[in-house]
Amino acid sequence: MPYTSYALKFINGLEDIPLYKKMEYVEDSLILFDKIDGRYVSVEINGDYEEEEVIEFYKMILPNLGWKEKKSLIFNRNNETLEMICKKEKGKIYVKFNIFPLEINQ
């Protein structure tokens, strides 16, 4: 069996944040701006999972990637804020990741 089947896939536009299990990128959801004050990224993924298991995965993995949870589902790293927004629709969980410069949220 090839080793690539075990390799982590990462979220489009967020090259250091892994995709949970077999969740998929929502087509055309990536918005990316690089500005002087930092980057603005918004991207959405979805899959057939329970919201709690997806949230638990990201709450466990994000601190290992340098993100510190400031409030529920809002993380800071260096000069950036990562916000996760979850919703359930037609039996699927949708998770939107928004990254923006830290100053905007304060």
pLDDT tens column, 8-18:
789 999 989 99
Q: What is the mean pLDDT of residues 81-91?
A: 96
pLDDT at position 1, please? 39
Rg (CA), the chain: 14
68 — alpha (psi -120 to 50), left (phi > 0) or beta? beta
Domains (ranges, CATH) in the chain? 8-105 (3.30.1370)
DSSP secondary structure string for all residues of 40-90: EEEEEEEESS-HHHHHHHHHHHHHHTT-EEEETTEEEETTEEEEEEEEEET
pLDDT at position 7, please? 60
Neighbours of 13 (CB within 10 A): 17
Distance CA 44, CA 31 (A): 10
| 22-37 exposure pattern, b = at least 16 Cβ within 10 A, e = fewer | ebebbeebeeeeeeee
pLDDT tens per residue, range 40-51: 999 999 999 999
pTM for this model (two decimals): 0.88
